[in-house]
Amino acid sequence: MACAQATKTKTAASEAVTPAGEVEMKPVSSGYADGNGIKLYHEIYGKGEPLVLVHGGLTTIGEMQGWV
C-alpha cells in the first residue's frame, strides 16, 4: 500500500504540511481584535456556525490548518 506524499507550504506563522490531494484554504478575513488591551489575532474561514479553535503553548495558527 502506497502512502500519499505531503507537501510543505510556507505560512506567515510557521510551515504547514498539506497532505497530497488536499487544498489549503485561505481565510475570508483576518486581523486583530482588541480584548482588554490585548491584541488577539484571528482568521475567519467559510460560513455557518462559528467554531473557535485555540492553539496551545507550543503550536501556532498555521498548525491548525488541517482542522479548518
More confident residue, 9 or 40: 40
Q: Indicate the domain borders of the chain.
A: 25-68
pLDDT of residue 3: 46
pLDDT of residue 6: 43
pLDDT of residue 66: 77
CB 39 within 8 A of CB 32: yes
d(CA 38, CA 18): 31
Q: pLDDT (tens digit, 9 = 90+) per residue, 12-57?
A: 444 555 566 666 778 899 999 998 999 988 999 888 898 888 888 8
Whether residue 59 is predicted with pLDDT greater than 80 in this model: the reply is: yes
The pTM of the whole model exceeds 0.75: no
